[in-house]
Amino acid sequence: MATDIIIATTNKGKIKEFKQLFEGNERVIKSLLDYPHIMDIPEDGHTFHENAAIKAETLAGILNCTVIADDSGLEVDALNGAPGIYSARYAGEQKNDAANIEKLLKELEGTPEEKRTARFVCVIAVAQPGEETIYFKGQFDGIITSQPQGEKGFGYDPIFYIPELGQTAAEISSNEKNARSHRGKAIQELLKYKNLFNL
Ligand SMILES: O=P(O)(O)OP(=O)(O)OP(=O)(O)OC[C@H]1O[C@@H](n2cnc3c(O)ncnc32)[C@H](O)[C@@H]1O
Ligand SMILES: [Mg+2]
């Protein structure tokens, strides 16, 4: 019987996307929400790679099996790459998407459209007990709008405009997002090399 795929995340938006990205794989996707007794894993690294490794390696150590983690965020050029690795907690520890968006739009007030370029970054770490952690990365380019548009997705999606589609990431379907997103690209890479690890 195929084993489960375990992802060290509590983010419901990510979990939904991972379930779709692994569809057809006939594997059960489990997350930290299925292990409520495991406490929050502190993300005190300085890069996406470090934080992804901390999450994946901590849970792999506890469960003694292969674990995937995603550390991701939004880099805005006019803010020198902020909020970056601090994207989830940009407006405070409560990790509130609406408050994060409001803070970002305020920081960008008066910044013209041509200077509102940004990208989502996703680093996926695959940790296996007793093995070196392996990484996969994906990027997604866009422009920060001046107000939220759309109800789909999560996080900063309502203010992330995709020029070639003429819509924000919160207006397109999850299939359209997965086909071009930072997370979708990182998972496509992972699937190419999945024979390398016990997944
Ligand atoms: O650490 P886990 O438990 O996985 O959940 P998290 O939400 O804290 O995840 P991160 O530490 O990786 O922070 C990522 C943040 O970046 C933003 N983000 C990442 N991917 C996104 C996406 O596809 N769409 C919109 N926002 C995204 C969003 O605010 C996330 O909370
Ligand atoms: Mg986090």
Q: Is 14 annotated as a binding residue?
A: yes
Rg (CA), the chain: 17
Q: Is 34 annotated as a binding residue?
A: no
What is the CATH T-level fold of the domain 5-193, as seen in this structure? Maf protein (3.90.950)
d(CA 136, CA 126): 8
The amino acid present at 57, given as its one-letter code, is: E
How large is the average pLDDT for residues 76-97?
97
Question: What digits encode the pLDDT tens for the residues 34-67?
Answer: 999 999 899 999 999 999 999 999 999 999 999 9
Q: Which of 71, 75, 61, 60 is nearest to 30 (CA)?
A: 60
Q: What is the mean pLDDT of the chain?
A: 95
Residue-range domain boundaries for the chain = 5-193
Of 137, 156, 168, 172, the residue with max ligand 1 atoms within 8 A of its CB, to mutate for a pocket test, comes to 156
**Percent of the residues in the chain that have a pLDDT greater than 70, as a whole number:** 99
Distance 87 CA to ligand 1 centre (A): 7
**pLDDT bucket at 1, cuts 50 / 70 / 90:** low
What amino acid positions are annotated as catalytic residues? 71
Looking at residue 2, its pLDDT comes to 66
Ligand nearest to the CA of 148: 1
d(CA 40, CA 79): 29
Looking at residue 121, its pLDDT comes to 99
How large is the average pLDDT for residues 158-166?
98
- Which 3 state secondary structure label does DSSP give 76? strand
Q: Is 51 annotated as a binding residue?
A: no
Looking at residue 196, its pLDDT comes to 78
pLDDT of 72 over the 90 cut: yes
